[in-house]
Amino acid sequence: MTMRDRLRAGVGAALREAGVSEAAEFSVERPRRASLGDWSSNAALTCASSAGTAPRRLAEQIAASMRADPPAHVEAVEVAGPGFVNFRLAPSWLHEVLTEVVSATSDGYARSDVGAGRTVSVEFVSANPTGPLHAGHGRWAVYGDAVCRLLERGGYRVLREFYVNDRGGQIDRFAASLEQARSDSDSSESGGYRGDYIAEWAAEMPADADVRQWGLRRARHDQTETLDAMGVTFDLYTSEAELVARGAMDDILEELHRRGVVYKLDGALLLRSSDFGDAEDRVVVKSNGEPTYFLPDIAYHHEKFGRGDTVIDVLGADHHSYVPRMRAALAALGLDIDAYEARVGQVVNLRRGGESVRMGKRSGGMVLMSDLLDSVGADITRLVYLLQSIDTTLSIDLDALSAQSSENPVYYLQYAHARIRSLGRQAAARGVERVPLAEADLSVLCGERELDVLRTLADLPDITLSAMQARAPHQITAWARNHAATFHRFWHDCPILSSETDENLRQARLWLVEAARTGLAVALDILGVSAPERLAPVDEPAAEAASSR
């Protein structure tokens, strides 16, 4: 039973004792400021009106009743502010947290079963197979993957999905560009693809190759390689061409007809999407008889509903208008629209020095994801993308990124982990052994530095749950930075192997850092950043850090 559960039960009982029959929703939280106590409840505030009592007075009643029979570890119950009930706890509650973290290990701590094994289909990246991934795709690759990791920790089964738009006009243009680059390296057709890779790929292409097929394979291979390098793998790639070939698109078209949600106009077939919340009706079959991208896309989403209890699309703001359209199509098919969720994130703005670098395959001049990975590595790349909310425009200055890579926040986190691992090696070298946890006297951990570390650890399960529900992995990044800070402060002030440290305290601190390391490892795992055994000192040539992701 967690501390929160105990307090919640206590407050609930106190409310009943105070004669509040219909208790409103109330929270039990860690207050922002430590001076207000270890835990706090707003129950008196939210229940006051239905109880017909003044908040402060109800709070006093709750406090009095809880003082009479306090939950474990509770030392003081106070009423403060407009009617908060605050709890001060003995450090023993944090020692309990330590034990909990260590026994759960990084695999089990901050894990929940809210997903109860339900399946979530998460589609992300889905870059067109017409070129390499650029730095803009990277944001969705890393974000999508981190969201999946959060969902997995929350007890969901996750399907990482990638949709390949390997048919249609863009592919025609891509093939034409390759063809032309092969025959004529000079001019390039307007509207075609102009990135440097076109010429390079054209040069690689065997003379007898089917340009279209070869180009698609080349692009997909390139993208997969880059994704692998950043630790992102997919469970399911769905080819639009194959989907059409096996009749899924025709089936959906038939279904749309049967439901009477399409109509002919000027030779084209339109979906009545405006009847389902979209701004206007959308063309699904062009007047030339060709389907738009939209039709197979509807078929694809229909399939995703078949394998996921929840279907999530991760897309950039440049595609946000697609959301009401897809939502309308799914509603038109009679699917449960609440199970569909689109996460729209802002674009990535790249700068080199002061100048902004334009993105887009057709304009050329893009920053390749593979180049970024080569220059700063996967860990920095991932953390940079996970530093802030996807609601903000992410600005990456490439020059600053490489120049300041040694000051990157990722090292702040990894160094904390490496320090603890280093301690283990030092301890072994000095013949210091850690006694079993059950034999350690944790009650000696009572300094503020020590308790602060445990307090942040206690928060991790809540943060993880919240980050998962909000699909906001940057909350984990923020927690990790805060946790690393409390750890570094502790480390600075609390020697462990020093001969001046009492043996009991040393043992307790050895377990404290193991708990701190475990929590950090959980966060790094969710972020997909490696938790290294050591970091190369900054002055020496970068040694390869042993890593366990």
Partner RNA sequence: GCCCUCGUAGCUCAGUGGAUAGAGCAUCGGUCUCCUAAACCGUGUGCGCAGGUUCGAUUCCUGCCGGGGGCACCA
What minimum distance in Å lies between the beta carbon of 426 and RNA?
4
Q: What is the four-CA torsion angle of 170, 173, 179, 183, rounded to 10 degrees?
A: -150
Residue 447 in the binding site for RNA (CB under 7 A): no
Note whether 143 and 473 are within 8 A (CB): yes
Output 9 or 542, the one with its CB closest to RNA: 542
- Closest listed residue to residue 431, CA positions, set 503, 494, 532: 503
Q: Which span (33-41, 175-183, 218-226, 228-236) binds RNA, by CB under 7 A?
A: 33-41
Residue 209 in the binding site for RNA (CB under 7 A): no
Residue 183 in the binding site for RNA (CB under 7 A): no
SS3 of 460-506: the string is: HHHHHHHHHHCCCCHHHHHHHHHHHHHHHHHHHHCCCCCCCCCHHHH
Q: How far apart are CA 499 and CA 510, in angstroms?
A: 14
Residue 481 in the binding site for RNA (CB under 7 A): yes
Q: Which of residues 115-154 bind RNA (CB under 7 A)?
A: 128
State whether residue 356 is helix, strand or coil. Answer: strand
| Choice from 197, 201, 491, 511 touching RNA (CB under 7 A) | 491
What minimum distance in Å lies between the beta carbon of 189 and RNA?
15
Token pair, residue 191, equals: 């509207």
CA atoms lying within 13 Å on the CB side of residue 415: 17
Residue 475 in the binding site for RNA (CB under 7 A): yes
| Choice from 65, 165, 226, 507 touching RNA (CB under 7 A) | 165
Would you put residue 184 in left (φ > 0), alpha (ψ -120 to 50) or beta?
beta
Q: Which span (103-111, 200-208, 495-503, 520-528) binds RNA, by CB under 7 A?
A: 495-503
What angle separates helix 378-386 from helix 503-527, to the nearest 10 degrees? 80
Output 114 or 265, the one with its CB closest to RNA: 265
CA distances from 145 to 311, 342, 344, 397 (A): 15, 15, 15, 23
Q: How far apart are CA 210 and CA 79, in angstroms?
A: 77
What minimum distance in Å lies between the beta carbon of 52 and RNA?
13
**What amino acid occupies position 538?**
V
What minimum distance in Å lies between the beta carbon of 4 and RNA?
14
Residue 224 in the binding site for RNA (CB under 7 A): no
| Binding map of RNA across residues 365-404, x = CB under 7 A, - = no contact | ----------------------xxx-xxxxx---------
State whether residue 431 is helix, strand or coil. Answer: coil
What minimum distance in Å lies between the beta carbon of 117 and RNA?
27
- Residue identified by tokens 């109800």 is 58
Note whether 89 and 39 are within 8 A (CB): yes
Output 75 or 184, the one with its CB closest to RNA: 75
Residue 169 in the binding site for RNA (CB under 7 A): yes
Q: Which span (8-16, 134-142, 246-254, 489-497) binds RNA, by CB under 7 A?
A: 489-497
What minimum distance in Å lies between the beta carbon of 146 and RNA?
14
| Choice from 214, 237, 305, 415 touching RNA (CB under 7 A) | 415
| Choice from 365, 441, 495, 548 touching RNA (CB under 7 A) | 495
Residue 239 in the binding site for RNA (CB under 7 A): no
Q: How far apart are CA 535 and CA 282, in angstroms?
A: 55
**Cα-flanking dihedrals φ and ψ of residue 40, to 5°?**
-150, 150
Output 293 or 305, the one with its CB closest to RNA: 293
What minimum distance in Å lies between the beta carbon of 206 and RNA?
27
**What amino acid occupies position 370?**
S
Q: Which of residues 497-516 bind RNA (CB under 7 A)?
A: 497-498
Q: How far apart are CA 39 and CA 412, in angstroms?
A: 29
| Choice from 409, 435, 462, 547 touching RNA (CB under 7 A) | 409
Residue 73 in the binding site for RNA (CB under 7 A): no
> Chain-centre distance of CA 421, in angstroms?
26
Residue 190 in the binding site for RNA (CB under 7 A): no
Q: Which of residues 272-301 bind RNA (CB under 7 A)?
A: 279, 283, 286-288, 290, 292-294
Residue 355 in the binding site for RNA (CB under 7 A): no
**CA-based torsion, 494, 498, 500, 504: positive or negative:** positive
What minimum distance in Å lies between the beta carbon of 409 and RNA?
6
